[in-house]
Chains A and B, each alone.
Chain A
Amino acid sequence: MVASHTDRRAAPDEVVDLALRMVRGDAEVLYLSRDAALTRFAGSRIHQNVAEHDATLRLRVVDDGRTGVASTNRLDDQGLAEVVARAQEICRRSAPNPDQPPLAAADAGCGESDLGFVTATAEAAPDRRADGARAVIAAAQAANLVASGAFSTEASTIAIANTNGLRSQHAATQAKLLTVMTGEDRASGYAQAISSDIGAIDAGAVGEEAADKAVRSVGATDLEPGEYDVILEEYAVQTVLEYLSYAGFSALAVEEGRSFMELGKQVMGANVCIWDDGNDPTGLPTATDFEGVAKHRVDLVTDGVATGLVHDTATARRAGVPSTGHALPAPNTFGPLAWNLFMAPGSSSKETMLSSIDRGLWVTRFHYVNIVHARKGVLTGMTKDGTFLIEHGRIVRPVRNLRFTEEIPAAFSRIDAIGAQTKMVGAEYSGINARVPALRIGRFSFTGATAAESGE
């Protein structure tokens, strides 16, 4: 009898074991399932509303220095047999590579974990997401604004097994609500909430935060680019850390000379501590990486000194250290990645930061950030959804969006104050989420502006 895909999804450990038994020789099986739904609103109405159910099995076969990887989302007997045959065939035809990463050891796994799995999130019905959207829309309408945004819920399972005897499995959920509200004169405001638990998402509060920001953004005027002391809200700080992770927190990035990190060297200010921890329940936990290695906390920057890098089995072997559990799915030429980031809080409040600035800018968030020069940690991007001029310790007016181009490690050496509170912020699309405080940074470099006559 051919087992149905749905049956198999209920027992990922059985799927990976079955696939492993079908392989001759050494192999690793990675199973990923995702049940996701998203209610999207724009123009203060729901305009897109979707759900998807998928599960993929990815098989890595290793034989005499040769490796082949094949994946399928057909999990019936025929689909499994076919993916095994494809992986073995591509392995047989490939060329040997003595530096291929080894399969993770049996004792490197995380066992079975459901840290960060909340049943209410997994079972959230479309009505619940619609209610959240309506609460945000109501907050917008009360302030004479237009709401756009998305309310998503997701349950995912990752299961990995290999012929060394490793077994790792982690089930998790995520609920995320974000909105951009717009008003007259292109005013806009942003807010976001993200949690494993949909019950922790306060849609009304998200709506009110964005509405407040949008209302205060009405009447934005031009501001000359230049160096300004800034307050970066948590949304902006998460984005900066996300791109620092891409640019330099991985061992392979350092090996290949594309990172600003140099272990043991002071790379940021002494008040900066950044780490990655997939097991911290105040983040969005991921107990295992995609090779099945249990995730370990890695202190990346401690008191401003580069103290750690994230590893997968390949970089770990070359460095002679254990993997930290940060592998992406094999095969992966990009290297390991830190995606559960934390930045240590300080002792300041945003009000205190504000009062200490004679002339500067309040930045709610950044848009379309990209790496200009990875080795130096230079990023560029635009401010968005609430940028305000500060004079004499007070916000005096909203300003039009500005472009920054900044060497971030150097900027993080000019952090004057760090917020005492941290906020969990979800990445726009990368999955590199971060719990971060707000920051006050001196002389942040803004290199361009979009003037009113350009249509801004």
Chain B
Amino acid sequence: MNELVDHALDAAQRAGAGYADIRITERETESLTVKNGALEAATSNLSTGFGVRVLVDGAWGFAGSAVLTPREIERVTREAVEIAQASGLAAGDPVVLDDTPPQVARYATPVVEDPFSVSVDEKLRILFEADAAMANVKGITVREGTIEGARERKSFASSEGARIEQELTEAGAGIEATAVNESEQQVRSWPNSAGGQHVTGGFEAVREMALADNAERIAQEAVALLSATDCPSETTTLVIDSSQMALQVHESCGHPIELDRVLGMEASFAGTSFLTLDKLGKLTYGSELVNIDADATAPGGLGTFGFDDEGVPAQNVPIISGGQFVGYLTSRETAPIIGRRSMGSSRASGWNVIPLIRMTNVNLRPGEAGTLDDLIADTDDGLFISTNRSWSIDDRRLNFQFGTQVGWRIRNGKLAEMIKNPTYTGITPEFWGSCDAICDPSEWRLWGVPNCGKGEPMQTHRVGHGAAPARFRNVRVGVGKW
């Protein structure tokens, strides 16, 4: 492998590159899906390849290929240089990278039980047990459960002398129950929607999810939702569960703090950001209770690693401190623009694409409002909502609207009737400014979001968000007439 790496870096420099790096990546995944009592999908995927990134006269070029031979590396490196030269036709100011020292290091995800060593029989036992529990509930029309594992081995080397080897291991699982009647389709998921919960780590995380123990309950809730009360259209107090808080953080904080968006680099696709450079250190983003960090070192986070794909060490940096906006997610190209060194969030979803600024684990710190039960007991009137179903936000990350799978009315500090089709909408700083309680660390969960999209060609990446349930005042719920 070292010979191939040296070959690419030598070829790049011979062709005139002022800077070059190469990533060689092998990603292996396994997935099992049980649907309606039968094994619907059993897959094993392997993708291997390399990408060469070069700077020629301050302009970027990148090319990648699946063929790991010296000849192909030579050809692809030449192609990357030619592409960089074409970039030079309309390049603007030369790209300048920060002064992050080149690292020579290794990192591996701590794993107790290797997901690839757990037998198919054992994984199917877990899934069929959960499926049977959902099947016990009359009225359920679709039952589905999935267990996934992934391992990514990455070698990174740069012309500056970096040499990094990483092995990242991921595990994930989830179940879902669907009920329908003549006018409604209602779904409940556990532990989360969109495929469940995902972590960096081993199969121990899947066992901790206790899929079967929660299967009957979510199935009952799906059926109950069919005859539940429609979400009222009103402005009210909203208590949001930990998993939906994770997506709230993702859309209204995680994306707008990406410095490439702020600088307009995503304007034609993902959009820009309301957190413009003039707001750094000056904007009140939320109430004093709101503290958000970007922590690539958080154990188990789906955005946890040793080094990003520019060779920058994983870090934990403050983003929102006491409600004040204090930090961005950055890369080696963008950090110098705000006078900083990269905080290590430049990540590529595969060997075939360039690293972009991506979330790591953007976490809302827990508060002091006790448990979820304490928070509801402290709320006279409002709604408690759980588990994301729908999401949308404008291109500057201000105007959002979310839907969740389920809600309950809160009356006099107690959960009352179930609410179906809950939606809520708001404007980011106003919404976070209305946060008046966040539950304590006992309720804090680190959620994996495995489907974050960004960039052209679009990269679907894996990120994390830690959050505890939180309360917001004067939120508009029940949006639209339908």
Contacts and interface: CB of A to CB of B under 8 A. Distances in A.
Interface in B65-112: 65-67, 69, 72, 76, 79-80, 82-87, 89-93
B391 interface: yes
Interface size band for B: 35 or more
Interface string A33-52: 00011111111111111111
**Which of A39, A51, A134, A374 has the most chain B CB atoms inside 10 A of its CB?**
A51
A53 B268 CA distance: 24
B144 interface: yes
A225 to B, nearest CB: 10
A182 B264 CA distance: 10
B267 A42 contact: yes
Interface stretch (A10-18, A284-292, A349-357, A364-372): A364-372
B42 interface: yes
Contacts of B51: 52
A376 B85 CA distance: 51
A208 interface: no
Given A52-B63, A53-B64, A93-B120, A380 B401 contact: yes
Contacts of B43: 68-71, 90, 331
A149 interface: yes
18 contacts: A48-B62, A50-B354, A50-B457, A52-B352, A54-B47, A54-B65, A70-B43, A74-B66, A93-B120, A149-B268, A179-B268, A368-B393, A373-B421, A384-B395, A401-B399, A448-B401, A450-B394, A455-B396
A401 B394 contact: yes
Contact of B91 (A46, A149, A330): A46
A256 interface: yes
Interface of B: 30, 32-33, 35, 38-49, 51, 59-67, 69, 72, 76, 79-80, 82-87, 89-93, 119-121, 124, 128, 141-142, 144, 178, 180, 183-185, 263-269, 271, 274, 352-354, 390-396, 398-399, 401, 403, 421, 423, 425, 427, 429-430, 453, 456-458, 479-482
A406 B45 CA distance: 39
A129 interface: yes
Contacts of B178: 256-258
Contacts of A90: 30, 42-44, 120
A49 B124 CA distance: 44
A87 interface: yes
B38 A98 contact: yes
B89 A95 contact: no
Nearest to B37: A97
Given A95-B39, A403-B401, 20 more contacts: A43-B264, A45-B92, A46-B91, A46-B92, A49-B61, A52-B457, A53-B67, A53-B76, A67-B39, A72-B46, A99-B38, A126-B83, A256-B178, A257-B185, A331-B43, A332-B41, A368-B394, A382-B394, A429-B453, A454-B429
A95 B268 contact: no
B42 A67 contact: yes
Contact of B40 (A40, A97, A370, A429): A97
Interface string A77-107: 0000011001100110111111110000000
Interface of A: 4-6, 36-56, 66-74, 82-83, 86-87, 90-91, 93-100, 125-127, 129-131, 133-134, 137, 146, 148-150, 152, 178-180, 182, 256-258, 330-333, 367-376, 378, 380-382, 384, 401, 403, 405-407, 410, 428-429, 445, 447-451, 454-456
Nearest to B265: A42
A127 B265 CA distance: 21
Contacts of B69: 4
**Which of B271, B456, B458 has the most chain A CB atoms inside 10 A of its CB?**
B456
Contacts of B263: 42-43
A112 B91 CA distance: 42
B392 A382 contact: yes
Given A46-B59, A148-B264, A370-B391, A256 B269 contact: no
